Structure 1
Amino acid sequence: MTAETFVHPAAVVEAGAQLGAGVHIGPFCHIGAESVVGDSVRMASHVTITGATYIGAGCQIFQNAVLGGAPQSVRHKGGRTTLSIGASCIIREGVTFNVGTDSSTGATTIGSNGFFMAQSHVAHDCVVGDNVTMANGAVLGGHCEVGDFVTFGGLSAVHQFVRIGHHAFIGGLSGVERDVIPYGMVTGDRAKLRGLNVIGIKRSGYSRADLLALRSAYRMLFASGRALADAIPLVAEKYPDSAAIADMLSFLQVSGKRHFTMPAAQDRGGGDDEA
């Protein structure tokens, strides 16, 4: 520890834990022996950091968060696995992140600048990108892959092994059991694709031309009546120079463990959002 680091007398920091400069640890926190806490991390009271867990610089962790707990998996046999959290994340009350499993990748990875609201959960072996927001009570099952700038509404739940493309929006109370395309917006129990995350696209600085092209590509893929396998090369031919559309097509060309989330029959026109 450095002189700049503060540990409340009522906190427990086990021998072997590594604390960076300017760390602030509040009362009744428990920091495990294999934990590495980056510079300027601030913890309120009753925070638990356990397992082989790395906390990036500048994170703020609130009461009763438990980071690095054992995976909730019957296949895990107790081997050493890890959790890595990027810089400048805000981790609110009661959030839980688990380490990976020794039967899979062995690692759970969370990017930088995330905002994880109260009682949200990231399960074992997930890979979560940068600038992800999970609202209160949102949960990820094991082995999920989440791209950058994804937003999860409150009490949404994602099935294990699901992929969520970057800039997607998951509506509150949604149950997501299939992969979600980049820029997609899904809602509902057994979520359906409702169009594009237009607000998120605009906030990320995409041009109006980009948005119009994405909307056109979306309609060609999901509202033309063609099978996806037939529509993908047509979209690629029409938009050969669009990086955004290339991302969407690349996602669709990867065969994951889940099928793709598709529109409900009444929403095949791409939703009500306007460019």
Structure 2
Amino acid sequence: MKTYAIGDLQGCMHEAQLLLDRIALDAGGDCAIVFVGDLVNRGPASLDALRKVAALCESSGGRIEAVLGNHDLHLLAVACGAQKASKSDTFDEILAAPDRDALMDWLRRRPLAVMAGQHLLFHAGVLPQWTAGQAMALAAEVQAVLRGPDWRDFLGQMYGNQPDRWDDSLAGVARWRCIVNAFTRMRFCTPDGVMVFGHKENAGAPEGSGLLPWFELPGRRTLDVTVVFGHWSALGLLLRDDVIGLDSGCVWGGKLSAVCLENRALLQVDCPEYQQHAGKEKG
């Protein structure tokens, strides 16, 4: 059975359905699918996208899954009152939906990371100190919090850039925030693995900063698996033996992309420009 990873939907449900149809033809039967996060926000049909992916996951017997992205977590925080919506959010239809509570309950139970064979899939990044096994264990810690009774309290404390480096001694909310920031927000790091946020519009770091894309850090301990992620529309599609980046800017007028993990077949659909680049935060 083939496994496909799909990049950031961001509410672009029409394009997502076209891509799912392409996958069905390419697979020639049953297949596994992992959506690499950011199902919602900025595109025109976030409610439809959330409903569709939830229905697919629930009916698939575990063959289809979606990992949490930063926009998905932000939706959860806004929906439970832990955070105010921003001007660029497009959550109103979801928040007013009759099945809102059921959708939020489904969303908060999604994983931060999954393993598919020798592929580790997540939304944004993994810190260089983590092995694949450790990354999965740390993801499970946060997943337990989000699935537990205190999930609203955690979402209220989730925002912030500190701590910005991993330490095994981190505990409680600080530990979970660091894990969430790596899995759902990280792009650039210092060579010794400190996360640096704020450089969103470019694929390269500012000249002279010394910053590196997280997947280029020396000594990264996930080099024994292929890492698969989205989140970085300025980076665009990236296909390497050890790295697959799948955010090809659907909501920004680019493409929605899927890759078959077994043979690296690339499937794409063109997308209208639902959001303009100028003055807009990408990713």
TM-score (norm 2): 0.22
Computing the radius of gyration from Cα coordinates, the structure with the larger value is 1
Q: Which structure is higher in RCO with an 8 Å CA cutoff and minimum separation 6?
A: 2
